[in-house]
Amino acid sequence: MKKWVYSLLALLFISVAFFDTEIMAAQDEIAIRTVVEETYLLSDDYVTPLASLAPRAIVILHNVHAGWAHIEYKGQQGYVPSVTLKSAQPTLMLASAKNPPIVRETTEGQTKHLGNVPIDSIVQAYATNEENWYFVQYGHLTGYIIATALKAPTSQKMLVQKQEGLVVRNIASKSGANLTSIPTNTKVDVYTNIQGWAYVVTEKNIQGYVLANGLKEIPIPKLGKYSQGTVTKTKRIALTFDDGPHPTVTAQVLKTLEKYDAKATFFVTGHRVNKSPKVLKEIYEAGHEIGNHTWSHPKLTTVSFEQAKAQINETNKTVESIIGQEPTLFRPPYGAYNKEILGSLSVPLIMWSVDTLDWQHRTPSKTLKAVQTGAYNGSIILMHDIHQTTADALDSILSYLTKQGYEFVTVSELITPIK
C-alpha cells in the first residue's frame, strides 16, 4: 500500500476522533473477527504498517474507538479501520489427534507454542485463509491448530436432570470461567464427554462445558404396541388419513364419516394446511383428531436432524395458528424415523397396522378388500384423503366395519386404556 494511503488512514482517524463514539471491548468472551477486505495492521501512530491482513484472516478484537479497531494478529497488536472487520462464525470441532493438539501463535514453522488442547475436547474453530489451518478458541486459549488434529463431532440429545440446573464453563474444569447456567429439564445437544465434562449446546445457543453427571438420556416414548395398533377387548378401530387436507376429497370424507357417526385421525402436511386452512378447521370442529405428518412429506432419515425438526415444528405452528392447539400425534412419512427423531418428539409417534395401499392402486374395491382382510380389534387403518378413489371407497368400508360391530375412534382414544 502506498504512503498516501497511510496518510489518508491517519487523516480518517483524526477526523472521526472529534465524534463521541462508544468504546466496545470484549467482556467475558474473546471477540473473534474476520477481515473482509485487504488492509494493513498499523502501529499506535496509525501510519506505520506492522503486517498485511488478507481477506478471511482471523483476528482478536480488543476494542473499537472512533472508527478504529484495536486488534491482535499472530502475536502483534495494532489498529485497522473497524469497517474492514466482521464477526467470524465458528464451527464446533473435536480434538482427535493421538496427542493433545498444539496451539501455535502463527502457522509458520518453529512458531511459539501457546498451549495444548485436551484430546476429545470441543473447540470453536474458525476457517482461515491459510490452507490446512484453523484458528481455534478453547476457553481463553486462542491460536492456530493444524486441521488434521480436528474432526467434526457427532451429537446426542440429553436432558438436564439437576434440580438446580447446571453451570456452564468455558473449559472442561471447575477452574473454568462461569459463563451462565442451564435450567433443569432443558434439552441439550452433547458433543463430547471428557473426564466427566460434557460440551453442550442448547436450542438458544447457550454452549460450553457442564458436569456430565448432571445430564440424562431423554426418555424415549414406549410406543411399541401403540405405534402399530393395540389389541383391544372391545371392537374398536382407528381410521387414519394422511397427506391432506384436500379441498374437495377431504370434504367428501368428512361427510361420509358424519353419516356413520365415525371419528378419525387426520395426519396433515403443513404445506396443504397452509393452502386449505378452512378444511383443517372443519376437520377439527367435527371432533376428529389432528396429527402431524411434516411440512412437505420428506423421508426424514434422508435429511439432517435440524431439517427434520423444522419440518415438524413448522407444521405444529401452522396447525396451532388455525385451530388453537398443536397436533396431538406424529406420523413420519414413509414410516421412516430414527432414535434421534423419536427422542425429540413430545407426542406419540403413530404407525399403522393395516396399509390399504390406496395411493398405489387407486381402486375403491381394492381399498375395501384390504380393510376386510386386515382389520382386527385395535387396528390402525392407513388411507389418504388426497385421492378421490379413497373417498369413494369410504362408504363401503364404514358400512362393512359397522356390520362387523366396530366402533370408530381416534388414535388417542384407541391407545388410551379404558378405565
pLDDT tens, 267-295? 999 999 999 999 999 999 999 999 999 99
Q: Is the dihedral of CA 409, 413, 417, 419 positive or negative?
A: negative
The C-alpha atoms of residue 21 and residue 13 are separated, in whole angstroms, by: 12
Percentage with pLDDT > 70 across the chain: 89
What value does the mean pLDDT of the chain take? 88
The C-alpha cell of 218 is what?
431423554
Least confident stretch, 144-153, 212-221, 357-366: 212-221
pLDDT at residue 28 tops 60: no
Which range of 152-161, 203-212, 252-261, 344-353 scores highest in mean pLDDT? It is 252-261
pLDDT confidence bin for 204, thresholds 50/70/90: confident
Annotated active-site positions, please?
242, 384
**Rg, C-alpha atoms of the chain:** 30
Model pLDDT, residue 145? 95
Model pLDDT, residue 14? 40
pLDDT confidence bin for 203, thresholds 50/70/90: confident
The C-alpha atoms of residue 232 and residue 129 are separated, in whole angstroms, by: 65
Model pLDDT, residue 18? 34
Burial of 301 (0-12, 13-18, 19+ CB in 10 A): middle
pLDDT confidence bin for 78, thresholds 50/70/90: very high
Residues 158/197, Cβ–Cβ less than 8 Å:
no
The C-alpha atoms of residue 358 and residue 387 are separated, in whole angstroms, by: 8
pLDDT at residue 166 tops 60: yes
The C-alpha atoms of residue 139 and residue 190 are separated, in whole angstroms, by: 18
pLDDT tens, 346-393? 899 999 999 999 999 999 999 999 999 989 899 999 999 999 999 999
Average pLDDT of span 11-37: 54
Model pLDDT, residue 416? 75
The C-alpha atoms of residue 81 and residue 76 are separated, in whole angstroms, by: 16
DSSP string, 37-87: S-EEEE-TTSSSEEEEE-TT-EEEEEEEETTEEEEEETTEEEEEEGGGEEE
Pick from 209, 207, 185: which is nearest to 197 by CA?
Answer: 209
pLDDT at residue 2 tops 60: no
pLDDT confidence bin for 419, thresholds 50/70/90: very low
pLDDT at residue 417 tops 80: no
pLDDT tens, 397-407? 999 999 999 99
| Local structure of residue 20 (DSSP, 8 states) | -
